[in-house]
Amino acid sequence: MKFKSILSVLLLSPIALLAQSQDELRTLKKQVTDLSAQVTTLSQQVVTLQDKIPYYEATLNLKQSEPVQRKTKYEVRITEVKYDETGRMLTVKGLVKKLPTADKDDRLSFFEEHLLTPEGLKVNAEMVTNGNNSFVVPDPEIDMDYAFVMPFQMAQKPEKLALLKFKVGIGFVNSFEVFSFKGLTVN
């Protein structure tokens, strides 16, 4: 009898262990299947995000144009966009220069300076200056930077400018170049 009970224990123990191992194996297979599904889903999300990255980069480039623009005759660099709470004045400072490709008679002068806020408010500039003088350079040197200050009277400080736009040149048709800066941050 003892022999039979020992024999039955010996025979049943591996069966019990085998059943337990099969349950563990099923659990592990299910976990592997679930993890494989997660990997597939995450891989698809990565591919989708990789496809969206160029779109977002292009969008950012549209929203924030370079603070330097070079055209055929002139180059303009925006150096500062600042709002003064006390005087309620937004001031754009920058440098403009005549390029070697400009005509000999081309002068430096600004026309139709205005900005647009993100809310769509259009504000025209007061007089553009260089120091205390109105900004007009009748015979500018080539490749020489000339500083300008462009003031805008504004009741509130915008965080960004939707658009800063102006013309540089003589003012006759086809004798000026249009400069448009988008998304400039206001300090």
Alpha-carbon gap, residue 64 to 85, rounded angstroms: 24
Alpha-carbon gap, residue 96 to 110, rounded angstroms: 10
* Residue 147: closest CA among 107, 187, 108: 108
Residue 62 has pLDDT above 50, yes or no: no
pTM of the model: 0.64
Domain positions in the chain are 1-63, 68-185
Residue 160 has pLDDT above 50, yes or no: yes
Give, as one character, the DSSP assignment of residue 138. S
Alpha-carbon gap, residue 29 to 32, rounded angstroms: 5
Alpha-helical runs (H) found in the chain = 2-63
Alpha-carbon gap, residue 32 to 38, rounded angstroms: 10
The mean per-residue pLDDT over the stretch 143-159 comes to: 95
Alpha-carbon gap, residue 143 to 165, rounded angstroms: 22
CATH 3.30.1490 is right for the domain spanning 68-185: no
Query: Taking a C-beta distance cutoff of 8 angstroms, is the pair 184, 67 a contact?
Result: yes
Could you report the per-residue pLDDT of 80-137, keeping only the tens digit for each? 999 999 999 999 999 999 999 988 877 889 999 999 999 999 999 999 999 889 999 8
Burial of 52 (0-12, 13-18, 19+ CB in 10 A): exposed
Could you report the per-residue pLDDT of 27-47, keeping only the tens digit for each? 888 888 888 888 888 888 877
Tell me what pLDDT residue 145 has.
94
Longest C-alpha distance within the chain, in Å?
Answer: 123
Radius of gyration over every alpha carbon of the chain, rounded to an integer in angstroms: 35
The mean per-residue pLDDT over the stretch 141-145 comes to: 93
